[in-house]
């Protein structure tokens, strides 16, 4: 006989958002049931870990390739794609071993394997099992959906997951899309010796600060990647041993508006995402979607007051940090009736290219729109000793603050950007001032010193204020006292 469940919270989806929500609820001592129809881990195991494992191999090759610049050289370098794929699989398996029903059970989370379907506004069925929870959290993630482009449905194209299964070298990889996933993959494969072209109707890294994104795009082009963003795709068609794309590129002055032919051996689609909610029975539960994502209010509650939705199932820039931030906010809202504080902008986001790009809080444009006059400080890594030592000084740290010095946001482009954003994430979340960040003392020589340095550029910071006219007068007066 099938068992029925009446938990305090039922989480649907075992990806980053669902796992974070279930763990947060269980830690508070309430009963939790987690439903997952496939493997636990979600995008962590299908996208995040594989892409970073691939990038690790590519970055190592690049480091060895440029070794002679630092006086280090060795035998000719070789890339074995089959063994790179084995490394990606092994790295993913290592992480997967940390996400199991047994480990979750120790935390107090009951895992049910199967496909969840809403029977009504307060009931979910999983096979013959019935779950009636006080609250539901939908964290089903998103799936890739090819964009509507002429001829795309008539050619063979790889999905994002397929990109990590290559064991034979493409002669020319065309990546359709110019978001962070697309750029990360294009650079990784280019560094492993594969010719790559990026084709995108929209801007490259459209969700990021254009000043910071430009540094990444410049580097990709310098490495031989042809970045064709903002183009009009007229036709995608098959050709012998590959695919052909006909497009016009307004940024290509040489083409002068004429059609451009891009031929490739493989096409990878890395753009177009919708919530993976088909078959979930949203209509039966009275949950409204906008056709692509589940619609939520400021507290991430759906049109059904019992149901919340988080992570990639709702519109926004996808990231594990955002998913975990939303998960904690929703659990607090359910258990303590505490409204959500802030928004997705509190979650740091990162583009794992080289140089990398990371940002948290409000960007310059958003900050000006909300606060009017703001302070903007920039610190180029060319001024940083560690960056010069490593011969990798491309990029900068950019900080936006209120007139009073409270940190509103920060963006970093350069080596190690995802690690360097941490203190600024702390500053934004806790409404710290530039003076507070400037009080940090970093080890020398490290790139972390850039954070203290940029805070010192603010005229209201503790160090910089020593040069203010009023303070100089005080110093002269005290000096007369002996």
pLDDT value of position 376: 95
Give the C-alpha distances (Å, rounded to integers) separating 70 from 67, 127, 474.
Answer: 5, 61, 50
Do 117 and 280 meet the contact criterion of CB atoms below 8 Å apart? yes
pLDDT in tens, the chain (482 residues): 467 899 999 999 999 999 999 999 999 999 999 999 999 999 999 999 999 999 999 999 999 988 888 898 877 888 999 999 999 999 999 999 999 999 999 999 999 999 999 999 999 999 989 999 999 999 999 998 999 999 999 999 998 888 888 877 899 999 999 999 999 999 999 999 999 999 999 999 999 999 999 999 999 999 999 999 999 999 999 998 899 999 999 988 888 889 999 999 999 999 989 999 999 999 999 999 998 999 999 999 999 999 999 999 999 999 999 999 999 999 999 999 999 988 899 999 999 999 999 999 999 999 999 999 999 999 999 999 999 999 999 999 999 999 999 999 999 999 999 999 999 999 999 999 999 998 888 999 999 999 989 887 755 444 444 445 666 777 787 787 86
Give me 54's structure tokens. Answer: 């691939």
What residues contact residue 52 under an 8 Å CB cut-off, 6+ apart? 352
Distance from C-alpha of 175 to C-alpha of 156, rounded to nearest angstrom: 13
Run of H or E residues at 236: strand 232-239
Nearest to 461 by CA among 384, 387, 379, 380: 379
Distance from C-alpha of 91 to C-alpha of 268, rounded to nearest angstrom: 22
Q: Maximum Cα–Cα distance for the chain, whole Å? A: 91
Helix/strand number for the chain, H first, E second: 15, 23
Distance from C-alpha of 18 to C-alpha of 11, rounded to nearest angstrom: 6
Do 185 and 54 meet the contact criterion of CB atoms below 8 Å apart? yes
Nearest to 167 by CA among 136, 200, 189: 189
Nearest to 137 by CA among 372, 384, 326: 326
Q: 358: buried, middle or exposed (CB in 10 Å: 19+, 13-18, 0-12)?
A: buried
pLDDT value of position 195: 95
pLDDT value of position 212: 97
Do 354 and 187 meet the contact criterion of CB atoms below 8 Å apart? yes
User: Which residues partner with 41 through β-bridges?
Assistant: none
Backbone conformation region of residue 300, classed left if phi is above 0, alpha if psi is from -120 to 50, else beta: left
Do 42 and 141 meet the contact criterion of CB atoms below 8 Å apart? yes
Indicate the class that CATH gives domain 355-467: alpha beta
Helices within 240-340 (DSSP H only): 320-336
pLDDT value of position 185: 95
Nearest to 179 by CA among 207, 141, 210: 207
What residues contact residue 70 under an 8 Å CB cut-off, 6+ apart? 391
pLDDT value of position 467: 45
Which residue in this structure is represented by tokens 């078959």? Answer: 279
Do 145 and 274 meet the contact criterion of CB atoms below 8 Å apart? yes
What residues contact residue 109 under an 8 Å CB cut-off, 6+ apart? 22, 23, 26, 32, 33, 34
Which of 3.30.360.10, 3.30.530.20, 3.50.50.60, 2.40.100.10 would CATH assign to domain 152-270?
3.50.50.60
User: Which residues partner with 36 through β-bridges?
Assistant: 113
**Could you tell me how far CA 456 lies from the centroid of its own chain?**
29
Give the C-alpha distances (Å, rounded to integers) separating 9 from 31, 274, 282.
Answer: 7, 25, 18
Run of H or E residues at 386: helix 385-389
Distance from C-alpha of 249 to C-alpha of 244, rounded to nearest angstrom: 15
Distance from C-alpha of 377 to C-alpha of 455, rounded to nearest angstrom: 8
The number of CA neighbours under 13 Å toward the Cβ of 60 is 10
- The CATH number that domain 4-41+99-144+274-345 falls under is 3.50.50.60
Nearest to 112 by CA among 7, 265, 246, 217: 7
Distance from C-alpha of 263 to C-alpha of 406, rounded to nearest angstrom: 50
Distance from C-alpha of 344 to C-alpha of 190, rounded to nearest angstrom: 32
Nearest to 343 by CA among 319, 318, 367, 362: 362
Across 304-395, where does the E strand assignment appear?
A: 307-309, 349-351, 356-361, 375-380
Q: Would you say the pTM of this structure is higher than 0.75?
A: yes
Give me 260's structure tokens. Answer: 């451009």
DSSP, collapsed to helix, strand or coil, labels residue 247 as strand
Report the Cα–Cα distance between both ends of the chain, in Å, rounded. 90
Boundaries of every domain in the chain: 4-41+99-144+274-345, 152-270, 355-467
Torsion angle of alpha carbons 285, 290, 296, 297, nearest 10°?
A: -130
Distance from C-alpha of 81 to C-alpha of 242, rounded to nearest angstrom: 20
* Same fold yes or no, 4-41+99-144+274-345 and 152-270: yes
pLDDT value of position 307: 98
pLDDT value of position 165: 84
Q: What secondary structure letter does DSSP report for 474? A: H
């Amino acid at each position: 006989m099938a068992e029925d469940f009446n938990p305090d919270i039922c989480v649907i989806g075992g990806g980053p958002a669902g796992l974070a929500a279930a763990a947060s609820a269980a830690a508070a001592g309430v009963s939790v049931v987690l439903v997952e129809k496939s493997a636990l881990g979600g995008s962590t195991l299908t996208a995040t870990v594989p892409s970073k494992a691939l990038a690790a191999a590519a970055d190592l090759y690049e480091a060895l390739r440029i070794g002679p610049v630092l006086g280090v050289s060795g035998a000719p370098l070789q890339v074995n794609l089959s063994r790179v794929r084995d490394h990606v699989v092994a790295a993913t398996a290592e992480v997967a071993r940390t996400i199991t029903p047994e480990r979750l059970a120790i935390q107090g989370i009951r895992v049910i394997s199967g496909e969840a379907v809403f029977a009504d506004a307060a009931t979910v069925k999983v096979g013959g099992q019935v779950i009636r929870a006080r609250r539901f959290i939908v964290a089903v993630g998103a799936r890739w959906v090819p964009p509507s482009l002429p001829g795309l449905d008539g050619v063979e194209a790889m999905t994002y997951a397929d990109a990590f299964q290559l064991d034979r070298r493409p002669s020319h990889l065309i990546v359709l899309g110019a978001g962070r996933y697309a750029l990360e993959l294009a650079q990784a494969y280019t560094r492993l010796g594969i010719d790559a072209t990026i084709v995108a109707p929209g801007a490259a890294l459209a969700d990021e600060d254009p000043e910071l994104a430009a540094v990444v795009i410049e580097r990709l082009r310098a490495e031989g990647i042809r970045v064709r963003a903002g183009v009009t795709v007229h036709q995608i068609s098959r050709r012998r041993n590959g695919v052909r794309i006909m497009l016009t590129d307004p940024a290509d002055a040489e083409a002068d508006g004429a059609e451009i032919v891009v031929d490739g051996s493989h096409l990878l689609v890395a753009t177009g995402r919708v919530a993976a909610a088909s078959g979930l029975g949203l209509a039966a539960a009275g949950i409204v979607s906008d056709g692509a994502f589940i619609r939520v209010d400021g507290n991430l509650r759906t049109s059904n007051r019992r149901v919340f939705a988080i992570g990639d199932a709702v519109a926004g820039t996808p990231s594990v940090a955002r998913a975990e931030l939303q998960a904690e906010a929703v659990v607090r809202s359910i258990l303590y009736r505490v409204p959500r504080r802030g928004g997705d902008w509190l979650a740091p986001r990162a583009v794992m290219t080289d140089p990398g790009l990371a940002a948290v809080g409000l960007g310059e444009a958003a900050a000006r729109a909300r606060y009017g006059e703001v302070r903007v400080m920039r610190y180029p890594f060319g001024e940083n000793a560690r960056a010069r030592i490593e011969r990798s000084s491309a990029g900068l740290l950019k900080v936006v603050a209120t007139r009073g010095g409270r940190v509103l946001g920060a963006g970093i482009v350069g080596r190690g950007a995802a690690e360097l954003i941490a203190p600024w994430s702390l500053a934004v979340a806790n409404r710290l001032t530039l003076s507070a960040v400037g009080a940090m003392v970093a080890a020398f020589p490290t790139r972390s010193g850039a954070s203290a340095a940029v805070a010192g550029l603010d005229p209201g910071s503790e160090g910089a204020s020593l040069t203010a006219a009023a303070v100089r007068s005080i110093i002269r007066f005290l000096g007369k006292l002996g």
